Structure 1
Amino acid sequence: MLGNLNTRVILEYLPDLWVGFLNTLMLSAAGFTGAFIIGIIACAISIQPLRWLQAVGIAYIDLIRSTPLLVQLYFLYFGLPRLGILLPEFTIGIIALALNSGAYMAEIIRSGILSIPRGQFEAALSSGFSYLQRMRLIILPQAVRPTISPMIGQAIVLVKDSSLLSLISVVELTRVGQKIALDRFMPVEGLVATAVGFLLIYYLLKALAASWARFNRAGS
Structure 2
Amino acid sequence: MDGNMLADFNFRIIMEYLPLFLHGLGATFLISTASIFLALVVGVIACACRISQIKYLKYPAIAYIELIRSTPLLVQIYFFYFGLPTLGVRIPEIQTGILALMLNSGAYIAEIIRAGISSVDEGHIEAGISSGLNYVQRMRFIILPQALGATIPPLLGQAIVLVKDSALLSLISVAELTRCGQVLTSERFMPTEAFLTVAFFYMCIYFVLKSLADWSQKKLIFREVY
2:47 — aligned with what? Answer: 43
1:194 — aligned with what? Answer: 198
Gaps of 5+ in 2: none
2:80 — aligned with what? Answer: 76
1:97 counterpart = 2:110: no
Deviation digits for residues 197-216 of structure 1, max 9, x if unmatched? 10010011011112212222
1:218 Cα offset (Å):
4.0
1:57 Cα offset (Å):
0.9
- How many pairs does the alignment contain? 220
1:58 counterpart = 2:62: yes
Moved more, 157-166 or 204-213: 204-213
Letter in 1 for 2:153: S
1:123 — aligned with what? Answer: 127
1:213 counterpart = 2:204: no
1:147 counterpart = 2:151: yes
The two structures, once aligned, show a CA RMSD in angstroms of 1.2
1:170 Cα offset (Å):
0.3
TM-score (normalised: structure 1): 0.96
2:114 — aligned with what? Answer: 110
| Residue of structure 2 aligned with 1:178, choices 167, 174, 182 | 182
1:10 — aligned with what? Answer: 14
Deviation digits for residues 143-176 of structure 1, max 9, x if unmatched? 1011000011101100000000000100000000
User: Identity of paired residues, percent?
Assistant: 54
Deviation digits for residues 98-152 of structure 1, max 9, x if unmatched? 1000010001100110000112222222222221111111110111011000011
Q: How far apart in 2 are the matches of 1:46 and 1:12?
A: 51
Gaps of 5+ in 1: none
1:157 counterpart = 2:161: yes
Q: How far apart in 1 are the matches of 2:221 and 2:155?
A: 17
